[in-house]
Structure 1
Amino acid sequence: MGNVDLQCGLRLRGAQLAYQTYGELNARKDNVIVFPTFFGSQHPANEPMIGPGMALDPTRYFIIIPNLFGNGLSSSPSNTPEPYGRARFPRVTYYDNIGFQHRLVTEQFGVERIALVCGFSMGAQQTFHWGALYPDMVERIAPWCGSAKTARHNFVFLEGVKSALCADDAWQGGWYDSPPAKGLRAMSRVYAGWAPSQAFYREKVYLDLGFSSLEDYLITAWEGRYLQQDANNILAMVATWQAGDISDNPLYGGDFAKALGSIKARAFVMPSRTDQYFPPEDNEIEVSMMPNADLRVIETIWGHTGGGPGRNPADTAFIDAQLKELLAS
Structure 2
Amino acid sequence: MDYEIFHLGAVRLQSGATLPNAFIAYKTYGTLNAAKDNVIIFPTSFGDQHYQNEWLIGEDKALNPKQYFIIIPNMLGNGLSSSPSNTASPYDQANFPNVTIYDNVTLQYRLITERFGIRKIALATGWSMGAIQAFQWAASYPDMVERLAPFAGTAKTWPHNIVLIEGIRAALQADAAWYNGQYTVPPEVGLRTLGRVYASWGFSQPFYREECYKELGYESLSAFISGFWEESFLQSDANDLLAMMWTWQHADISKNEMYACDFEAALQSIQARSVVMPVRTDLYFTPEDSEYETRQMPNATFQPIESIWGHLAGFGLNRVDAEFIDGALKELLEKN
TM-score over 0.5 for the pair: yes
Aligned pairs for 1:308-323 (under 5 A) are 308=315, 310-323=316-329
Structure 1 residue ranges (4+ consecutive) displaced by more than 2 angstroms after TM superposition: none
**CA RMSD across the alignment:** 0.5
Residues 88-237 of structure 1: matches in 2 within 5 Å? 88-237=95-244
- Residues 201-221 of structure 1 deviation map (CA, whole Å, 9 limit, x = unaligned): 000111222112101001110
Matched, 1:327 2:330: no
State how far apart, in whole Å, the 1-side matches of 2:204 and 2:16 are.
39
Whole-Å separation in 1 of the counterparts to 2:138 and 2:291: 17
Equivalent in the alignment of 1:10: 17
Query: Offset of 1:102 from its aligned partner?
Result: 0.4
Gaps of 5+ in 2: 1-7
2:60 to 53, 56, 66: 53
1:245 aligns with 2:245: no
**Which amino acid counterpart does residue 221 of structure 1 have in structure 2?**
F
Structure 1: gaps (5+ residues): none
**SS of residue paired to 2:247:** helix
Aligned to 2:5: none
Q: In the alignment, which residue of structure 2 is the partner of 1:278?
A: 285
Aligned to 2:75: 68
Q: Distance in 1 between matches of 2:70 and 2:138?
A: 17
Supply the distance in 2 between the matched residues of 1:30 and 1:55 (Cα, whole angstroms): 16
Opposite residue 187 of structure 2, the aligned amino acid is: P
Tell me the number of residue pairs that the alignment of Structure 1 and Structure 2 aligns: 328
What SS does the corresponding residue of 2:148 show, helix, strand or coil?
A: strand
Percent of matched pairs sharing the same residue: 58
Give the TM-score normalised by the residue count of structure 2.
0.97
Q: Which amino acid aligns with 2:297?
A: M
Q: Could you tell me which of 43, 52, 59 is aligned with 1:36?
A: 43
Distance across 2 between alignment mates of 1:304 and 1:111: 32
Q: What does 1:283-302 align with in structure 2 at a 5 Å threshold?
A: 283-302=290-309
Amino acid corresponding to residue 320 of structure 1 in structure 2? D
Alpha-carbon separation, structure 1, partners of 2:150 and 2:304? 11
Secondary structure of 2:202 counterpart: coil
Partner deviation per Cα, 1:206-259 (whole Å, 9 max, x = no partner) = 122211210100111011110111000000010000010000001000000100
Measured against aligned partners, the alpha-carbon deviations of 1:278-312 in whole angstroms (never above 9, x if no partner) come to 1100011001110000001000000000011x211
Q: SS at 2:27's partner residue? A: strand
Structure 1 CA distance for aligned equivalents of residues 211 and 119 of structure 2: 48
CA distance in 2, matches of 1:129, 1:213: 40
Amino acid in the other structure paired with 2:330:
K
- Which amino acid in structure 1 is aligned with residue 63 of structure 2? L
CA deviation map 1:92-134 (0-9, x unaligned): 1000000000001111000111000000000000010001000
For residues 148 and 134 of structure 1, the distance between their equivalents in structure 2, rounded to whole angstroms, comes to: 15
What displacement does 1:46 show?
A: 0.3
CA-CA distance at 1:317 after TM superposition: 0.3
